[in-house]
């Protein structure tokens, strides 16, 4: 056995969205705590957000030219097989050079070539599936994976039952304890302590319907005495920021991206969010009342399924995307009017949390390679 193997060095592959990237970073952090001598290498897709977010978290990343097939007719689909073949060759070279003891795939374009190349070489692989509806790449690679860590029960319809471990989704460690952070958050975001704070999240790229719903009601929010901390997303920030400035509203705070999510969660009295896998997992731990507005533009409408799992437990409210514009404030008002209802929802959502997901995943990883 080579010396590299003794260091428990691993590769983590995948990305594309925050829902893939942040769980991957949480797994890396947990592995580094247990094996501080281990090297951890990320492999992502060129041009995707993991190529900046992973180095910001302190890890090395290599990029592959792999890209997805477009559902509509597109000239870019002609280059797909060439990019895939090149990515498979590059993944094989990376694995040969780095010599990982195991490889973790978190979904996303890069995950496919890296897990496939690893499995061909007989290196143990673990799949981490964040969603209630498994992605195509993970379904294809599951048969030869050693372990599959999932965030929802009932995933036997996608994966071999004997390989599944129900761990939940790993989240950023800084949100596991929000106590004592409210005052710092008020100062950091320039918020007032005597106003109810609504945190609005549409993902790192943004959510068109949520942003339009905020625009429709933002004057009414301010007139009611609320303040908004609003992550509009990369694609919408300039337009939203301009509209807020023109409106001259002082308590609508629009941000392109909120990096300090622990502070944002700590200061929020109520949260409006999409119902993606990472959002749902984090909000379970935060324990605040939540209004989910699921995106309708996802495979098998899995965000609605995510949200409904919480609604059925009286742990959240769901507002349909098609109904959100013009109804956001009237959905929120009753929760601020009824403190007992808001508190009950916060308590119920915490009961659905899986705070030890990252630890359970690395325990599976260790048992796989021991």
Residue 278 in marked binding region: yes
Environment class of 48 (CB within 10 Å of its CB; exposed 0-12, middle 13-18, buried 19+): buried
DSSP calls for 159-186: S-GGGEEE------GGGS--TT-HHHHH
Residue 363 in marked binding region: no
Residue 232 in marked binding region: no
Vertex 141, ends 358 and 160: CA angle to 5°? 75
Residue 231 in marked binding region: no
The span from the CA of 228 to the CA of 60, in Å, is 36
Vertex 210, ends 205 and 216: CA angle to 5°? 135
Residue 358 in marked binding region: no
Alpha helices in 78-195 (DSSP H): 80-98, 111-120, 136-141, 182-189
Hunting for tokens 């899995």 — which residue is that? 302
Q: How many other C-beta atoms can be found within 10 angstroms of the C-beta atom of residue 337?
A: 9
- Rounded to the nearest 5 percent, the helix, strand and coil shares of the chain are 50, 15, 35
Contact assessment for residue 271 and residue 291, using Cβ atoms and an 8 Å cutoff: yes
Query: Facing residues of 201 across strands?
Result: 231, 273
Residue 205 in marked binding region: no
Residue 19 in marked binding region: yes
Residue 131 in marked binding region: yes
Query: Facing residues of 217 across strands?
Result: none
Dihedral angle of Cα 282, 170, 53, 189, to the nearest 10 degrees:
30
Residue 277 in marked binding region: yes
Residues making up the annotated binding site for UDP-N-acetyl-alpha-D-glucosamine are 17-19, 131, 172, 204, 258, 277-282, 303
Residues making up the annotated binding site are 17-19, 131, 172, 204, 258, 277-282, 303
């Amino acid at each position: 056995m080579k010396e590299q193997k003794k260091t428990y060095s691993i590769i983590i592959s995948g990305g594309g969205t925050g829902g893939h990237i942040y769980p991957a970073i949480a797994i890396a952090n947990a592995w580094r705590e247990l094996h501080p001598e281990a090297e951890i290498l990320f492999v992502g897709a060129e041009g995707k957000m993991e190529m900046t977010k992973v180095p910001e978290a302190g890890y090395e990343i290599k990029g592959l030219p792999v890209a997805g097939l477009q559902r509509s007719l597109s000239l870019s689909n002609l280059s797909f097989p060439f990019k895939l073949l090149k990515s498979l060759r590059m993944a094989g070279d990376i694995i040969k050079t780095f010599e990982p003891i195991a490889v973790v795939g978190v979904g996303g374009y890069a995950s496919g070539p890296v897990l496939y190349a690893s499995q061909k070489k007989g290196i143990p692989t673990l799949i981490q599936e964040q969603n209630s509806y498994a992605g195509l790449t993970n379904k294809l690679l599951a048969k030869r994976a050693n372990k599959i860590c999932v965030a929802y029960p009932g995933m036997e319809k996608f994966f071999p039952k004997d390989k599944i471990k129900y761990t939940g989704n790993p989240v950023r460690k800084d949100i596991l304890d929000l106590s004592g952070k409210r005052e710092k958050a008020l100062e950091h975001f320039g918020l007032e302590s005597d106003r109810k704070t609504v945190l609005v999240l549409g993902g790192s790229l943004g959510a068109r319907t949520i942003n339009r719903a905020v625009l429709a009601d933002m004057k009414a929010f301010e007139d009611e005495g609320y303040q908004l901390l609003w992550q509009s997303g990369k694609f919408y920030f300039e337009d939203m920021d301009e509209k807020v400035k023109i409106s001259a509203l002082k308590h609508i705070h629009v941000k392109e991206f909120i990096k300090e999510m622990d502070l944002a969660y700590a200061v929020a009295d109520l949260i409006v969010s999409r119902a993606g896998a990472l959002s749902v997992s984090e909000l379970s731990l935060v324990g605040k009342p939540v209004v989910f507005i699921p995106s309708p533009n996802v495979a098998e409408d899995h965000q609605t399924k995510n949200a409904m799992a919480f609604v059925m437990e009286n742990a959240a409210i769901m507002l349909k995307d098609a109904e959100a514009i013009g109804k956001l404030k009237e959905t929120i008002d009753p929760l601020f009017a009824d403190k007992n209802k808001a508190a009950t929802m916060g308590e119920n959502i915490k009961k659905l949390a899986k705070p030890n997901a990252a630890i359970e995943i690395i325990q599976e990883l260790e048992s796989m390679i021991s």
